[in-house]
Amino acid sequence: MRNYTLWYAVKVVDKKTFKTGDQKQHALREQTICETFATGLSHRNIVKVYDVLTENDFIYIVMEYVEGGELFEKIKQSKGLAEPTARRWFREIIEAVDYIHDHNIVHRDLKPENVLIDKTHRIRICDFGFGNIIKERHEVLNTYCGSPFYAAPEMVTATPYRGPPVDLWSCGVILFAMLTGSLPFQGDEMPQLFQKISKGVFTIPPYVTRDASDLIQRLLSRDAKERITTKECLLHPWLMPPTMTRCSLLTSSQLTLSSRLTNFSSRKKVNPYPEESCLTFMTTIVNEPKSTHQKIPTVINDSMPPPPSPIILKRRPNAKNQYFFFKLFNRKTQVAPASPILTHHKTEKKAPKQQFFLSRFKGLFKSSFQKRLT
């Protein structure tokens, strides 16, 4: 018998850095959702939460360590995925989303960066930083959050919305990215991007198969009421082909990639949460002397596979010095979404409700402007 040490991933949230009530509210919601997963909920395609601890001004979310990397990196490396691979992984994404919706949880920030791949090539959804627990599926929400390029029309037009359809829209953008290596809605400035999303007009490349195109179109329905649900999605022909059980992971080099974008790898990863750091550790939390975490030895039978190779402990880079938002966009582009309600003459005084939405969106895009597949 040999003793091995368990590996964990720990998300550390520093409550002292909260500058707005929204940030505090999001953190408390994430804490509640993760506590729910730690005490009862579990799904094979969602990162397992072991415990949620609070100490002074810190929240520690202790999770399993998934060492396979992000779906974003897989798409970036191959500039898109082979359809059998995309089909298998996307079905697992939908199964995970269906599970949380069945338990009245909405994610609201689904994107390839929040989808991990474990060492067995299985999908694992993570990061419920913008998640929320709803009373029922038809509950109307009015918190506008998430990542701009994956946001639904009702989100970018500041319209009260239901949570599940917003998640399904994001899934549609993810599927488009998996199959094409690009995003359906792109814009160099926020108003331009918002206008394209609100119109819901996009072009699917001709090499995408008919069934896959149909599923994308049903996921990216501009009308949230007509958008496909997770249950309907799992019964869609593209996710239930006769050969699905024989699908294996294929590299996208087996497909024709001439029409796909080639500058995907030029994008850099940005940590949108300056108040949060993620650590991977083997025994105790790094640089946190007040932590109550202790080394947890575990006895594992010799017949089991050896533990993973040592990993250098790193903090995600502090985002305080990453002025990416202000470098990309001047102040004239930092406006609320293009919407008839919000489009007035420059000299006209904004209504209180407009001021509210404007401040909400400014806060959102300062903290969550994301890597683009362009």
CATH number, domain at 184?
1.10.510.10
pLDDT at 236 over 70: yes
Whether 78 and 200 map to the same domain: the answer is: yes
Q: Give ∠ CA 163-38-124 in degrees, rounded to 5.
A: 60
Domain identity same for 77 and 139: yes
Q: Is pLDDT of 352 > 90?
A: no
Query: Residue 26's domain spans which residues?
Result: 2-65+276-317
Dist CA 243 CA 59 (whole Å): 45
- Would you state the structure tokens that stand for residue 143, as one six-digit string? 């918190």
CATH value at residue 290: 3.30.200.20
Q: Once rounded to an integer, what is the mean pLDDT over residues 224-242? A: 91
The answer to whether residue 346 sits within a structural domain is: no
**Catalytic status, residue 127:** no
What distance in Å separates the CA atoms of residue 31 and residue 54, rounded to the nearest whole number? Answer: 10
Q: Considering the chain, what is the average pLDDT of its residues?
A: 74
Could you give the CA distance from residue 111 to residue 108 in angstroms, rounded to a whole number? 9
Q: Quick one: pLDDT at residue 19? A: 85
- Structural domain total, the chain: 2
Q: Which of 14, 22, 57, 109 is catalytic?
A: 109
In a domain, 213, yes or no: yes
Say if residue 142 is in the same domain as residue 101.
Answer: yes
d(CA 28, CA 50): 17
Among residues 268, 284, 301, the one where a domain terminates is 268
| Any domain includes 371 | no
374, part of any domain: no
Question: CA separation (Å) from 255 to 55, 58, 215, 248?
Answer: 51, 47, 20, 14
Residue 341: pLDDT band with limits 50, 70, 90? very low
Q: Where are the alpha helices (DSSP H) in 48-82?
A: 71-78
* Of 267 and 238, the one with more pLDDT: 238
Q: Would residue 217 count as lying in a domain?
A: yes
Domain-ending residue, one of 209, 235, 268: 268
- pLDDT value, residue 263: 40
Question: Is residue 135 one of the residues assigned to a domain?
Answer: yes
Q: Are residues 114 and 210 in the same domain?
A: yes
Q: Residue 14 above 80 pLDDT?
A: yes
Q: Do 61 and 199 fall within a single domain?
A: no
pLDDT in tens, 297-323: 333 444 445 444 433 333 333 433 333
What's the mean pLDDT in 272-293?
Answer: 36
Buried b (16+ CB within 10 A) or exposed e, 16-34: eebeeebbeebbebbbebb
Q: Clarify whether residues 235 and 208 are in a common domain.
A: yes
Distance separating the N- and C-terminal Cα atoms of the chain? 51
Banded pLDDT at 373 (limits 50, 70, 90): low
Average pLDDT over residues 104-133: 95
Question: For residue 25, what are the CA distances in angstroms to 118, 140, 209?
Answer: 30, 17, 42
Distance CA 321, CA 334 (A): 19
One domain, residues 244 and 287 = no
For the cut 50, the answer to whether the pLDDT of residue 100 exceeds it is yes
Q: Is the dihedral of CA 190, 192, 195, 197 positive or negative?
A: negative
Given a cut of 50, is residue 284 above it in pLDDT?
no
Task: Indicate the residue type of 50.
Answer: Y
Of 154, 193, 186, 146, the C-alpha closest to 365 is 146
276, β-bridge pairs? 13
Whether the pLDDT of residue 86 is over 60: the answer is yes
Last residue of a domain, one of 233, 268, 303: 268
Residues 48 and 154 in one domain: no
Q: For residue 355, name the pLDDT band (cuts at 50, 70, 90).
A: very low
Res 67: pLDDT: 87
Among 242, 215, 244, smallest CA distance to 230 is for 215
The predicted model gives 127-149 an average pLDDT of 89
Q: What is the pLDDT of residues 162-216, one digit of tens each?
A: 999 999 999 999 999 999 999 999 988 888 999 999 999 999 999 999 999 999 9
- 372 occurs within a structural domain: no
If asked whether residues 215 and 112 sit together in one domain, one would say yes
Q: Are residues 137 and 285 in the same domain?
A: no
260 has a pLDDT exceeding 60: no
pLDDT at 241: 59
Any domain includes 364:
no
Shared domain for 89 and 118, answered yes or no, is yes
Asked if 313 and 260 sit in the same domain, the reply is no
pLDDT at 135 over 70: yes
